[in-house]
Chains A and B, each alone.
Chain A
């Protein structure tokens, strides 16, 4: 087995129905599990942004990204390793208020991870943490060890690359410039 790396893929596409399906199909075909997936509007009007993470090899990720980019309504797709992006996830931990208050360790855990309590009532409390994937997992383990977690949910990862610009902006500008130039030739 080749060594696998966790990659973050950032895809920009037109906002048309059915594109998510086409993107995930590229993973399905190669039997690659998607670890997390986040879809939202991007900073450009009419353009959607997908942030996808998966474990795979350098060779495969390159082919997967090219095959995603090949989809007609996909504008661009890039992949990154963790050192090439800033990334965050949001998690919510629903804990039992009596259990939580009984154990003084609990609030120490919250402080250690810089998490926030966003809701408290006599039955349950909700703790929110925005952080790196690892911290989110670790805090979950810590709270679980204190036996107070009722529910736990985490978002998919979102990420921005460490380069200065949103590459897709440059790309679209360049595409249009080239098109006009070729047309006027």
Chain B
């Protein structure tokens, strides 16, 4: 008996359902209309969120994926619909976020003819995606979708692009879901060399001053417990990268804070004093290392990473430990001795105190003057019992938010790290509300960044997505202004910015809102925001010329941090 034949579009729906997809962020158009038509019959099972711009769909899929660990899906049309997702694809690539972008494409017969809304999407996305593939025949759908999801979520996660030719959407095919967990050219968990493990164990056992660098790989590998067991057994202090901030909770006694340019003084100074540096799922970004020539030269470097191309890319690894850190951390923990490094851990204290006295206290508890960003972030974090998900935009708001928020749950930081994409926050926060419907989502953004994807307020409105929008308005492209102040003689070239009345904007979208200008109102405003069901826009008018401190100036050594701008 011949099998049932269904259209390629229907096959896509079934393939997505077979992958466990429940949420899709998208925007329709000509070349994807057959798929949208099929979606109409699947809308009970596949919740489609209509965004207002395809960049928003990509970032929403990222936000969804970052908080849930599942693959975020977006569905867009060909040509401009597809190119509008590019920023999100590139962002997901550098920040290792599993998303699958399905874009319409002209029919296979028209490919290469400059047909209406034809764009070489595979060509454009190859260098910025983990995999991109053009589906030209309906018979390929089951295989391509299974492969796409497997690739996106396994190993070092990343974005996959499926370019779906219109003829394949319409053709009839016998659909049979494909299950795929092996691709011979691709090794998602490379073998670990037992000799390297033995070498690392010896180094760790003999170390007097070990330091662990915690990266996003710990969250991506779901290795938070394995990390804790490892550092607790060997009693090793840790610094976290921006993307690894919630992999080890803020209140853990061995968590010594954030690494890098705007990180905490302790872990940065100690990077150049430790004798063994154990990097776990982090890629030694230049924002973390500062000047490479002077970075941790005194230390033996052990690097745990799942991606062989990260080993010795920026910092030479004396002992590379390849493989998923969930597995490799366990291997190490079993073999190392229990230790105590009390004196070494104590030696972080003076730096913590110095930073508290010279930077943090002034930022969080100012006696007078306008509200500070750090103060606002701290207050929101406390008001949520430090349990909320933090989503940020890019700039000063991002640095203050990441520094002063506290994390007591895994997967609590959603920020654009490697790309630094302004406009990321609002759509990513929408995605996060769907990825973690039970958690509070606090979205901190600047006046510049909000205006880059402000159209997604429409999505917030329509979906009643409970995003707590905290706009920290300084009337400046603040981050650039700070650099102009520090390195360009305070010549504020095109960084002051005129702002609209955000209260009117919020009210036009039917989103409850409040503007806070005075310190006395701050906590009340935050309470109102948190007590309001659904979305809320809290505009906090903050100090105009605030500066993110401490700071390692670009090109300086990691242990040199400016604590104020006077020196």
B-binding residues in A (CB < 8 A): 13-14, 17-18, 21-22, 25, 29, 62-63, 66-67, 69-70, 72-75, 172, 175-176, 178-179, 183
Contact = CB atoms under 8 A, between A and B. Distances in A.
A66 B183 CA distance: 18
B123 A21 contact: yes
Given A73-B185, A172-B184, A63 B313 contact: yes
Interface of B: 122-123, 126-127, 130-131, 134, 151, 181-187, 191, 307-309, 311-313
Contacts of B126: 18, 21-22, 25
B308 A69 contact: yes
A13 B181 CA distance: 19
B127 A72 contact: no
8 contacts: A14-B185, A66-B309, A66-B311, A67-B309, A73-B131, A172-B184, A175-B184, A183-B181
B191 to A, nearest CB: 7
A179 B187 CA distance: 10
B261 to A, nearest CB: 24
B185 A63 contact: no
A139 to B, nearest CB: 40
B123 A72 contact: no
Contacts of A62: 312
Contacts of A72: 130-131, 151, 183, 185-186
B123 A70 contact: no
Contacts of A13: 185
Given A14-B185, A66-B313, 20 more contacts: A13-B185, A17-B134, A18-B126, A21-B126, A22-B127, A25-B126, A25-B127, A63-B312, A66-B311, A69-B309, A70-B308, A72-B130, A72-B183, A73-B131, A73-B185, A74-B185, A175-B184, A175-B187, A179-B182, A183-B181
A2 to B, nearest CB: 15
Contacts of B191: 178
B120 to A, nearest CB: 10
A67 B309 CA distance: 6
B21 to A, nearest CB: 21
Nearest to B156: A70
Contacts of B307: 70
Nearest to B308: A66
A134 B127 CA distance: 35
A134 to B, nearest CB: 33
